[in-house]
Amino acid sequence: MELYQRTASDLARMIAAKAVAPSEVMAAHLARIAKVNGAVNAVISLRDADVLMAEARAADDAQPQGWLHGLPLAVKDLCATKGLRTTYGSPLFADFVPAKDDLLAARMRAAGAIFIGKTNTPEWGHGSHSFNPVFGVTRNPYDLSRTAGGSSGGAAAGLAARMLPVADGSDMMGSLRNPAAFCNVYGFRPSYGLVPGDAEGDTFLATLATEGPMGRSVEDVARLLTVQAGANPEVPFGRTAEDFADRLRVDLRGKRIAWLGDWGGAYPTEPGILALCEAGLQVFGDLGTAVEALQPPFPAAKLWQAWTTLRAMLNAGGMKALYDAPKKRAQLKPETIWEIEQGQSLGAQAVYEASVFRSRYYAHMARLFTRFDAVVLPTAQVWPFPVEWRWPQSINGVAMDTYHRWMEVVIPISLIGLPALSLPVGFGANGLPMGMQIAGPVGADAAILGMGQAYHEATDWPAKRPPAL
């Protein structure tokens, strides 16, 4: 097996045992990038190969500092990286080179990662289709005419195409989960607070988004999460880190899963997706888990209203300075302007009512988790769609009234910060990948990863069906 085909955990073990050198790992991945990235466009702002090889050779003889020692890593382009261009997919920041790392990048760098470049993302992370005016579009390694999803589309495509051994991402509205499903890899949205951000802007109200790990194995996801996790004392709602890889062995006998499907028909879903997810659930059944189909626990329309209100409020507040400057506003994508204007039209009472509804939903789900260990939904409502589209306009004849309505299935998880792992469930008749998301109560990150590990050992879709590139 070629080095670029191995998981990050395998490579880390090989480096630790001196069976392979970081410089060999780097050379293999740079060669792979040179071969396939021109078609996929997942890795952007790639650093000079000679410089990278020099850093890798220095790591050959250096004392390992952490699990990522000597591994090549491309950081999502929404995360600031010291000395490495960070654009946020926006022409306003096309030449921006940060003077310091964001906390996430700093933790991964401290664990020994060698930053080779960035991974592509939609402008400002808005929308689950990774295209922007700075770097263009990221294509799906399984079908280059299709999207890789987003906003962590570059990360997912880079993993699937074997250009990266492991990857970081972020998730507000499915941005770790959706591209994982579209690219046949794993994406994990941690419990809110487990992977903290920097003490910048609002840190009390902005609790919808989080950063997290992606990988071709659950072990890789767990090990990267261990690097990323741990409270930032300057930021509220922090959670204690643990060795998540050490807790992957879980006996599924006696576990209970609630299957929520398409939320009682509220979420239009393209043909074949639910059937694949149900086949994936059968794997859990074969492993001793009881699976029960449930009616929707809360009204979808109210979940959507609460979500869009809180999201718009945060976008309007956080991006006000760009919107208020006419020349800068002219360079914002239409979807971003729409988000800001939606937020500017809100009153305090609407925001309060959305937060109250969110609170009641959290309490309801907490009660549900006294009966079930996890809930499962499809990760996406559509198959990877043509790269020429900005977003799907309809699903099964049902018109999508916003640029993100077609992603609504992720809202029940995101709204209340549940830990959720997107699991590959195989391929449709169209040859395209899909996934399902398994989520548990806040704080049950290790338990959900353990359930994912048992599923991975029984299926291993990423290794079973790599892309033909």
- Which residues, other chains included, contact 23 with Cβ-Cβ below 8 Å and sequence gap of 6+? 53, 56, 57, 59, 60
Helices (H), 271-347: 273-286, 300-318, 320-324, 326-329, 334-344
In degrees, rounded to 5, the angle at the alpha carbon of residue 244 between the alpha carbons of residues 441 and 359 is 20
In one-letter notation, the amino acid at residue 281 is L
The candidate with the shortest Cα–Cα distance to 89, out of 155, 156, 48, 44, is 44
CB 200 within 8 A of CB 107: no
> Is 35 a catalytic site residue?
no
Catalytic, 191? Answer no
Closest CA to 259 of 137, 148, 401, 425: 425
Task: Please list, in sequence order, all residues whose beta carbon lies within 8 angstroms of the beta carbon of residue 252, skipping any fewer than 6 positions away.
Answer: 284, 287, 288, 289, 451, 454
Distance from the first to the final alpha carbon of the chain? 16
Q: Is the dihedral of CA 238, 104, 414, 351 positive or negative?
A: positive
What is the three-class DSSP state of 289? coil
Residue in 380, 429, 443 with CA at minimum distance from that of residue 147:
380
Please pick, among 170, 175, 217, 414, the residue that the annotation labels catalytic: 175
Strand partners, 422: 187, 437
- Provide the 8-state DSSP code for 131: E
Q: How far apart are CA 394 and CA 384, in angstroms?
A: 14
Is residue 76 flagged as an active site residue?
yes
Beta strand 398-399 with 420-427: parallel, antiparallel or unpaired? unpaired
Q: Within 13 Å and on the Cβ side, how many CA atoms surround 217?
A: 16
Residue with tokens 């079930």: 372
Q: Are 303 and 266 in contact (CB under 8 A)?
A: no
Residue 284 · residue 291 · CB < 8 Å: yes
Give the residue from 419, 401, 412 showing the smallest Cα distance to 357.
412
Active-site hit among 23, 76, 191, 422: 76
How far out from the chain centre does Cα 359 lie? 24
Distance CA 319, CA 335 (A): 13
Q: How far is residue 192 CA from its own chain's centroid?
A: 14
Catalytic residue IDs? 76, 151, 175
